[in-house]
Amino acid sequence: MDIVQAILYGLILSSIFALGAVGVSLIFGILRFAHFAHGDMVTLGAYLALAVVTLGQVSVWLALPVAVLVTAGAAIAVDHVVYRRLRRTRPVILFLASVGVAFVLRNLVLGIWGPQNLVYEPGIKLPMQFAGLRLKIDQLVIIVASIALISGLALFLRMTKIGKAMRAMSDDPDLARVSGIDTDAVVRWTWVLGGALAATAGVFHALDTRLQPTLGWDLLLGFFAAAILGGIGRPMGAIAGALVIGLASELSTLFLPPVYRSAVAFVLMIAVLLIRPTGIFAEARR
Distance CA 171, CA 8 (A): 35
In a domain, 126, yes or no: no
In a domain, 284, yes or no: no
What is the residue type of 153? Answer: L
pLDDT at 1: 55
Apex 130 CA angle, 124 and 133, nearest 5: 70
Please give the tally of structural domains in the chain. Answer: 1
pLDDT single digits (tens) 118-165: 999 887 777 788 777 888 899 999 999 999 999 999 999 999 999 999
**DSSP annotation of 230:** T
**Chain centroid, CA 160 distance in Å:** 22
In a domain, 131, yes or no: no
**DSSP annotation of 59:** -
SS3 130: strand
In a domain, 88, yes or no: yes
pLDDT at 104: 96
pLDDT at 282: 62
In a domain, 138, yes or no: no
pLDDT at 280: 73
Q: At what angle do helices 183-208 and 161-171 cross, to 10 degrees?
A: 100
In a domain, 184, yes or no: yes
Spatial CA neighbour of 264 closest among 240, 239, 279, 247: 247
- In this prediction the pTM is 0.92
In a domain, 204, yes or no: yes
| Domain of 189, in residue numbers | 2-115+157-275
In a domain, 147, yes or no: no
pLDDT at 283: 57
Q: Which residues of the chain have pLDDT under 70?
A: 1, 281-286
Distance CA 86, CA 50 (A): 33
Apex 285 CA angle, 283 and 286, nearest 5: 165
pLDDT at 285: 43
pLDDT single digits (tens) 176-188: 888 888 888 999 9
pLDDT at 87: 85
pLDDT at 284: 44
Q: At what angle do helices 38-56 and 183-208 cross, to 10 degrees?
A: 60
Sign of the four-CA dihedral 272, 275, 277, 281: negative
**DSSP annotation of 209:** S
List, in sequence order, every residue forming a beta bridge with 118; answer none if it has no partner. Answer: 211
Q: Alpha helices of the chain — where are they, by DSSP H? A: 2-31, 38-56, 60-78, 84-86, 91-113, 137-159, 161-171, 173-178, 183-208, 215-229, 235-251, 261-275
CATH code at position 43: 1.10.3470.10
Distance CA 100, CA 78 (A): 11
